[in-house]
A = this chain, B = another copy of it.
Amino acid sequence: MASILPASKRAMIPDKNAYNGKRFVNVKNPYLDTMDEDVLYHLDLGTKTHNLPAMFGDVKFVCVGGSPNRMKAFALFMHKELGLAGSGEDIKDICAGTDRYCMFKTGPVLSISHGMGIPSISIMLHELIKLLHHARCCDVTIIRMGTSGGIGIAPGSIVITDTAVDSFFKPQFEQVILDNIVTRSTELDKELAEELFNCSKEIPNFPTLIGHTMCTYDFYEGQGRLDGALCSFSREKKLDYLKRAYKAGVRNIEMESTVFAAMCGLCGLKAAVVCVTLLDRLHSDQINLSHDVLVEYQQRPQLLISNFIKKQLGLHDQMT
């Protein structure tokens, strides 16, 4: 599966050596190159069963998100936006042999689902980063697009994360390695965040801001929800917590950004997190949007990221 960008478009893509220098993906594992075969188990791919450089060598943008349906929708959208041949409707799930994750490729854009929560995205990222390494990809930008709960901002707003913070508002991710805890940085690429923010200004009626994103291990008790099967705190304690988060610079809450920032940072991937907020947690716990509004909100990160990618590829004339 070589580049499927038509020749007319391919000319518009800057040469990979010229485009932002030649930055390879760093796996930080001395054992990897000694392995005879690397099976990327949860992606149903492997170095002996697949020609990874041929399949993925031209990837420049990796977009990840929790929901398989949404990542397929994004791939179809990118297919159209990049002006690729065919309707794209027959786009194949590259990981069809497993139901853990879905993966779609449209030209230089890879679209992958990661499920919900830190452990689920972490498995995918380990195998994705090895995939990009085996495929000898360079100058890769990776963007997580997601849904989130906002704090003190209108539902439908886009938050571009500058720094991911944990439940204690600390800009760090605690990784358990064997039985040791190692603390990793969760800073994201500031320049990339600014570029995305600038892109957002060109879209009418598109409320966007840059802020901290809080990443929790739990959707209910961990995010101060009063509507879980378990709830041991008062409404006042909940609001006090969310207001303290706001004061610390947190504008939205989701469940994957800290490990995403930490792993991409360590492996030399330029990374961003772009989430839409579905509710303001200062006002409610449950999402009460109509189906149509929910669908439109969920498309917002896709629209912004698609515009950014087209700009990077020199397809300015085709901005949505």
Interface residues of A (CB under 8 A from B): 27-32, 35, 37-39, 41-42, 66-69, 99-100, 115-120, 122-123, 125-127, 129-130, 133, 167-169, 175-179, 182, 216-222, 224, 226-233, 235, 237-238, 241, 255, 263, 266-267, 286-288
Partner of A117, one of B119, B125, B224: B119
Question: What are 11 A-B pairs with beta-carbon distances under 8 A?
Answer: A35-B227, A38-B286, A41-B286, A42-B116, A117-B117, A117-B123, A123-B219, A126-B220, A126-B230, A129-B229, A169-B179
Known: A38-B227, A217-B119. A177 touches B129 (CB 8 A): no
Number of copies of this protein chain within its complex: 2
Contact B125–A229 (Cβ < 8 Å): yes
Given contacts A27-B230, A119-B216, A178-B241, 9 further A-B contacts (CB under 8 A): A28-B231, A31-B231, A115-B120, A122-B217, A130-B228, A168-B179, A175-B222, A177-B232, A177-B233
The answer for the CA separation of A27 and B30 in the assembled complex, in Å, is 48
Partner of A287, one of B39, B179, B219: B39
